[in-house]
Chain A
Amino acid sequence: AQKVTQAQTEISVVEKEDVTLDCVYETRDTTYYLFWYKQPPSGELVFLIRRNSFDEQNEISGRYSWNFQKSTSSFNFTITASQVVDSAVYFCALSEALGYSTLTFGKGTMLLVSP
């Protein structure tokens, strides 16, 4: 069975601080996808990144960066110089590599960025 653990329920930071959201996963599949989604207060889910299990390179996109470490089954997400607009719930998710596979979500981490 697949499982995604986001141990941090809520994180509060002050604007311009860096923050890392942790994600640990469990799967028996050798090939899988990992995702991060952002859910602002308005409710919609915004896709941030997909990572294939064969690609362990870290990725940077603007202020966002992701650290994928297969050895520790972790896929952590760092926001550099956080902004108030980053306040949202962030979900880490896992699926089998087959396209039509379902997503297993973590419980989410609520990030509050205060001015």
Chain B
Amino acid sequence: GAVVSQHPSRVICKSGTSVKIECRSLDFQATTMFWYRQFPKQSLMLMATSNEGSKATYEQGVEKDKFLINHASLTLSTLTVTSAHPEDSSFYICSALDRDNQPQHFGDGTRLSIL
């Protein structure tokens, strides 16, 4: 089946650090990838939709300058949390569509903790 790899799985860093999270589709080409954020005991909230070769589409309330998304190839999208602060601590999870066909295949998530 379709496999999505997300790295790193856990990050602990100091406030003010920028953190990059990678999302790779391992055995398929993903023209569309999604980034979600999940706070403890809450649902997944879509942050942005990432299309290969174009600018990401951000959901309302998500700062595009804070959460930089790059989708430079059909197998890789990256999310960079710039100048991270404690309130950015959360579980970030990506997903990818295989040739735009549902269902979305999810990575294992990244648990980000900002001290």
Instruction: Return the CB mask of B82-115 against A: 1 if under 8 Å, else 0.
Output: 0000000001010101011111111111010000
Question: Is B60 an interface residue, CB under 8 A from the partner?
Answer: no
The count of residues in chain A whose C-beta lies closer than 8 Å to any C-beta of chain B is: 21
Q: How far is the CB of B103 from chain A (nearest CB, A)?
A: 5
- In angstroms, Cα B97 to Cα A79, docked, is 28
Q: Is the CB of B102 within 8 A of A105?
A: no
> How many positions in chain B have a CB within 8 Å of any CB in the partner chain?
25
Which of A44, A99, A106 is in CB contact (< 8 Å) with B97? A99
Are the CB atoms of B43 and A44 closer together than 8 Å?
no
Those of B11-62 within 8 Å (CB) of chain A:
31-32, 34, 41-44, 46, 49
A35 contacts B by Cβ under 8 Å = yes
Given the known interface contacts A43-B108, A43-B111, the answer about A103 and B100 at a Cβ–Cβ threshold of 8 Å is no
